[in-house]
């Protein structure tokens, strides 16, 4: 998750007020930033498990681990009236113990109230425990599921056993948490309990009018209610306590973005000459005219670059919408004014492909460029760096590492970042720290819903390429059960005979590139047995040179089927490719499917996309794949995907780059997001450095949701 960072666990020195920097975390939050192991009962072993479960190593992370259900133990019938199969809390007197004689027998404890008797049943009992906690003659409280067994009433392994005076603490609504192997609900409850005990009272950061209108509780109360849901409605996302905390989270997100945006813009950008002679030259060299959307986006970019503000703009454009040429024309603005431009791609292949696409265009304008990727080493790398440092290279095309490495530009004016969805706010901040007032254009091929644009790119202005270049033929999308894959292969053979080029994407195995690879290799072997040398394989673990070689062969048509894992190159452009086959399509996010499908239908020929699935499909999977068949509009697809799946996983697993929300759910809290955005932008207009009373309170909020990079930004900005 790109937006999380290792916990900041204050070393003792920071408790010394004299040594604490202004702008660092308020003391009052220290307790929440302790490591989990600071809680009683949590050691290194269960601490590690707990950390995995709650997605973080700190006490604070525990607060956000919200219950997903609850058990109502307030139901306290008499034994006679206790319905079988229901959870009940009973007050009974212990009559007699029946210890088991053999290991595989249960230990029984016979209890009664004034209405009936009940057996408490224990397998593999701890005798001492039972004798101590269920002494004969005592009144006890037991809570658990009541059952009828051979006409006798029994309770197997009560969930809770206590003395009479424990009634109030047992007969409650008990939250049920998401768990993991090795961590019981009881353990989570205990840890949460300790955390809630020490919860600080924080200054209120909400707008009073909003808080009153929504009837939201104070922060502390909201957290307590989150973990002690007062029944069914306590799990509803609109339950005031949940809604408030969701709003807090969204506000932290929007505030941080508004701050970044404010301070970015405040830094003076340079004024570039736009739309000059170089641009004319390149436009003349293009074999097409720009689409309306391209022209509009360029006009927006020109307005930013021609003004003394710093550009921070997102160019959203579906696959094939023509972002590359917009990038090139943008870079010319900087070069026309005598400075340099950089174009960064997420992978080496894409960087090289950009270079190849742009080579003739840049040559037509007499522009010198270099490419720089991880592959350049030693002397040749030094030579490239030298050209960048001297300004001899006017454009540098490379991977994202361009900005992580210590690469010195003579005078970088604009940076274009391609395929942004693997690139979080944090990295954008790093990047803008790199050059003084560098204009930034981020391009994303992942159409994302409006709400998600707000949460992830709220710091940027947005241009949309919502019109495809002319002459695209629609891609025919077919759903094919894997059982029918054989028939499809015969079809392929015919298509290949007439020169078709085919992508074959292998299943996504979550979080494991290794298994992706195994699946791809297996498919490759099968296809190779059938089609021989016409099949190539490319995957993330290959050496760069080998990858390039396979890609080159596919581009030139020496091979006709390219088997690939999804880790590779969603951006590759081979216009001759007309068939896309995606195995286990049901495992992919719609956005990913859409992107993959966008690899075909780029040339003049009719294209097809086969979505192979393993039957039977769930209703949800049917509906999702159905959407793929109905439309090619990426923005529409992403909105539908959000609707169907919720915000958690719209962009697929690893690469989303979206801020992970712990409490907010954009499908439920979309309205709150809008309010948070307006709230944040008004705030930053009035109090950009968060020094007013509400501003100071809001600093707590930024730390709570670990948006404190924004606070750091206040200081360094």
**330 near ligand ADP, judged by CB under 6 A:** no
DSSP string, 267-313: SPPP----S-HHHHHHHHHSSSPPPHHHHHHHHHHHHHHHTTS--EE
Structure tokens, 429: 């901040």
Nearest CA among 681, 630, 331 for reference residue 478: 630
Phi and psi torsions of 86, nearest 5°: -105, 155
Q: Which of 413, 424, 571, 634 forms a contact with Mg ion (CB under 5 A)?
A: 571
Q: Which of 573, 595, 607, 655 forms a contact with ligand ADP (CB under 6 A)?
A: 573
Q: Which of 206, 243, 298, 325 forms a contact with ligand ADP (CB under 6 A)?
A: 325
Q: Which CB atom, from 345 or from 559, has the smaller least distance to Mg ion?
A: 345
Candidates 316-324, 504-512, 515-523, 577-585: pick the segment binding ligand ADP (CB under 6 A).
316-324
Q: Which CB atom, from 31 or from 469, has the smaller least distance to ligand ADP?
A: 469
- Give the CA diameter of the chain: 99
Print burial letters for 645-683: b (CB count within 10 Å at least 16), e (below 16).
Answer: eebeebbbeebbbbbebbbbebbbbbebbebbbebbbeb
Distance of CA 46 to CAs 42, 180, 635, Å?
A: 6, 11, 44
Q: Which CB atom, from 141 or from 319, has the smaller least distance to ligand ADP?
A: 319
Q: Are strands 439-444 and 412-417 parallel, antiparallel or unpaired?
A: parallel
Identify any residues that bridge with 440 across adjacent strands, giving them in sequence order. 312, 415
Q: 494 in helix, strand or coil?
A: helix
**319 near ligand ADP, judged by CB under 6 A:** yes
Contact partner at residue 294 from ligand ADP, Mg ion, none, CB < 5 to 8 Å by partner kind: ligand ADP
**322 near Mg ion, judged by CB under 5 A:** no
Q: Omega before 433 cis (within 30°)?
A: no
**290 near ligand ADP, judged by CB under 6 A:** yes
The distance of closest approach from Cβ of residue 624 to ligand ADP in the complex, given in angstroms and rounded to an integer, is: 23
Candidates 241-249, 289-297, 477-485, 696-704: pick the segment binding ligand ADP (CB under 6 A).
289-297
Residue whose C-beta lies closest to Mg ion: 571
How many CA atoms are closer than 13 Å to the CA of 258, on its beta-carbon side? 22
Nearest CA among 224, 229, 223 for reference residue 249: 223
Alpha-helical (H) ranges within 391-444 are 401-404, 425-434
Candidates 138-146, 312-320, 541-549, 608-616: pick the segment binding ligand ADP (CB under 6 A).
312-320
Q: Are 664 and 249 in contact (CB under 8 A)?
A: yes
Element (H, E) at 240: helix 240-266
**288 near ligand ADP, judged by CB under 6 A:** yes
Dihedral of the alpha carbons of 76, 79, 82, 85, in degrees to the nearest 10: 110
Candidates 239-247, 283-291, 579-587, 677-685: pick the segment binding ligand ADP (CB under 6 A).
283-291
**634 near ligand ADP, judged by CB under 6 A:** no
The distance of closest approach from Cβ of residue 445 to Mg ion in the complex, given in angstroms and rounded to an integer, is: 6
User: Around Cβ 689, how many Cβ atoms within 10 Å?
Assistant: 14
Q: Are 204 and 211 in contact (CB under 8 A)?
A: yes
**291 near ligand ADP, judged by CB under 6 A:** yes
Q: Which CB atom, from 325 or from 628, has the smaller least distance to ligand ADP?
A: 325
Q: Which CB atom, from 289 or from 653, has the smaller least distance to ligand ADP?
A: 289
Candidates 6-14, 89-97, 284-292, 626-634: pick the segment binding ligand ADP (CB under 6 A).
284-292
**323 near ligand ADP, judged by CB under 6 A:** yes
**445 near ligand ADP, judged by CB under 6 A:** yes
The distance of closest approach from Cβ of residue 468 to ligand ADP in the complex, given in angstroms and rounded to an integer, is: 8
Nearest CA among 330, 415, 421 for reference residue 634: 421
String of contacts with ligand ADP for each residue 593-632, x by CB under 6 A? ---------x------------------------------
Q: Which of 125, 322, 652, 657 forms a contact with ligand ADP (CB under 6 A)?
A: 322
The distance of closest approach from Cβ of residue 597 to ligand ADP in the complex, given in angstroms and rounded to an integer, is: 12
The distance of closest approach from Cβ of residue 524 to ligand ADP in the complex, given in angstroms and rounded to an integer, is: 26
Phi and psi torsions of 611, nearest 5°: -100, 105
The distance of closest approach from Cβ of residue 522 to Mg ion in the complex, given in angstroms and rounded to an integer, is: 30
Q: How far apart are CA 341 and CA 349, in angstroms?
A: 20
Q: Which CB atom, from 235 or from 462, has the smaller least distance to ligand ADP?
A: 462
Q: Are 527 and 535 in contact (CB under 8 A)?
A: yes
The distance of closest approach from Cβ of residue 384 to ligand ADP in the complex, given in angstroms and rounded to an integer, is: 24
Q: How far apart are CA 585 and CA 591, in angstroms?
A: 12
The distance of closest approach from Cβ of residue 176 to ligand ADP in the complex, given in angstroms and rounded to an integer, is: 46
Q: How many residues bind ligand ADP (CB under 6 A)?
A: 17
Whose structure tokens read 């506000």?
A: 251
Q: Are 142 and 89 in contact (CB under 8 A)?
A: yes
Structure tokens, 676: 């948070």
Q: Which CB atom, from 269 or from 447, has the smaller least distance to ligand ADP?
A: 447
The distance of closest approach from Cβ of residue 323 to Mg ion in the complex, given in angstroms and rounded to an integer, is: 5
Q: How far apart are CA 144 and CA 159, in angstroms?
A: 5
Q: Which CB atom, from 321 or from 592, has the smaller least distance to ligand ADP?
A: 321
**469 near ligand ADP, judged by CB under 6 A:** yes
Residue whose C-beta lies closest to ligand ADP: 322
Candidates 89-97, 323-331, 474-482, 534-542: pick the segment binding ligand ADP (CB under 6 A).
323-331
Binding site for ligand ADP (CB under 6 A): 288, 290-291, 294, 317, 319-325, 445, 469, 573, 575, 602
């Amino acid at each position: 998750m790109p937006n999380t960072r290792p916990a900041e666990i204050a070393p003792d020195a920071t408790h010394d007020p004299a040594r604490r920097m202004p702008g660092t975390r308020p003391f009052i939050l220290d307790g929440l930033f302790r490591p989990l192991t600071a809680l009683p009962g949590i050691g290194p072993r269960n601490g590690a498990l707990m950390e995995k479960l709650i997605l973080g190593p700190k006490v604070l992370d525990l607060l956000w681990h919200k219950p997903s259900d609850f058990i109502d133990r307030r139901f306290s019938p008499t034994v006679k009236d206790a319905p079988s199969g229901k959870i009940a809390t009973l007050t009974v007197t212990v009559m007699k113990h029946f210890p088991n004689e053999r290991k595989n027998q249960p230990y029984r404890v016979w209890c009664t109230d004034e209405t009936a008797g009940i057996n408490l049943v224990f397998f593999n009992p701890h005798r001492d425990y039972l004798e101590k906690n269920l002494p004969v003659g005592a009144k006890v409280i037991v809570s658990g599921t009541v059952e009828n067994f051979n006409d006798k009433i029994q309770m197997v392994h009560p969930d809770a056993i206590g003395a009479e005076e424990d009634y109030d603490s047992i007969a409650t609504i008990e939250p049920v948490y998401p768990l993991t192997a090795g961590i019981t609900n009881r353990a989570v409850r205990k840890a949460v309990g300790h955390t809630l005990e020490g919860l600080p009272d924080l200054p209120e950061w909400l707008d009073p009018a909003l808080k009153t209108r929504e009837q939201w509780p104070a922060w502390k109360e909201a957290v307590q209610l989150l973990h002690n849901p007062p029944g069914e409605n306590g799990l509803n996302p609109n339950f005031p306590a949940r809604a408030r905390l969701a709003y807090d989270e969204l506000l932290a997100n929007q505030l941080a973005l508004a701050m970044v945006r404010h301070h970015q813009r405040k830094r003076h950008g340079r004024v570039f000459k736009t739309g000059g002679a170089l641009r004319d030259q390149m436009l003349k060299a293009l074999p097409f005219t720009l689409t309306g959307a391209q022209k509009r986006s360029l006009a927006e970019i020109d307005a930013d670059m021609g003004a003394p503000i710093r550009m921070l703009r997102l160019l959203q454009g579906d696959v094939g919408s023509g972002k590359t040429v917009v990038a090139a024309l943008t870079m010319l603005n900087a070069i026309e004014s005598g400075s340099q431009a950089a174009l960064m791609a997420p992978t080496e292949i894409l960087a090289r492909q950009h270079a190849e696409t742009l080579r003739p265009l840049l040559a037509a304008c007499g522009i010198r460029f270099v490419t720089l990727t991880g592959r350049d080493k030693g002397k040749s790398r030094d030579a490239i760096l030298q050209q960048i440092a001297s300004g001899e290279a006017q454009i540098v095309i490379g991977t994202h590492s361009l900005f992580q490495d210590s690469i010195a530009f003579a005078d970088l004016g604009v940076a274009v970042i391609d395929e942004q969805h693997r690139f979080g706010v944090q990295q954008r901040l790093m990047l803008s720290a790199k050059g003084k007032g560098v204009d930034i254009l981020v391009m994303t091929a992942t159409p994302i819903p409006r709400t998600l644009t707000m949460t992830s790119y709220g710091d940027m202005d947005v241009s949309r390429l919502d019109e495809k270049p002319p002459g695209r033929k629609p891609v025919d999308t077919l759903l094919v059960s894997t059982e029918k894959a054989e028939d499809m292969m015969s079809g392929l053979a015919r298509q290949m005979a007439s020169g078709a080029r085919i992508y074959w994407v292998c299943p996504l195995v979550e979080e494991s590139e290794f298994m992706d690879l195994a699946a791809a290799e297996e498919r490759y072997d099968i296809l190779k047995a059938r089609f021989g040398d016409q099949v190539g394989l490319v995957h993330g673990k290959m050496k760069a040179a080998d990858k390039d070689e396979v890609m080159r062969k596919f581009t030139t048509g020496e091979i006709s089927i390219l088997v690939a894992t999804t880790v590779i190159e969603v951006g590759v452009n081979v216009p001759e490719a007309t068939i896309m086959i995606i195995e286990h399509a049901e495992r992919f996010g719609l956005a990913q499917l859409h992107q993959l499908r966008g690899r075909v239908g780029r040339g003049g020929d009719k294209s097809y996309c086969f979505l192979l699935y393993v039957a039977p499909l769930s209703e949800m999977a049917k509906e999702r794949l159905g959407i793929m068949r109905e439309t090619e509009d990426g923005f529409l697809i992403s909105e539908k995907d959000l609707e169907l799946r919720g915000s958690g996983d719209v962009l697929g697993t690893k690469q989303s780059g979206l801020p992970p929300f712990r409490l907010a759910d954009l499908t439920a809290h979309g309205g709150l997001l809008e309010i948070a955005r307006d709230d944040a932008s008004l705030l930053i207009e009035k109090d950009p450095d968060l020094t007013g009373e509400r501003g100071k309170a809001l600093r707590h909020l930024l730390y709570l949701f670990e948006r404190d990079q924004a606070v750091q930004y206040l200081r360094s900005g």
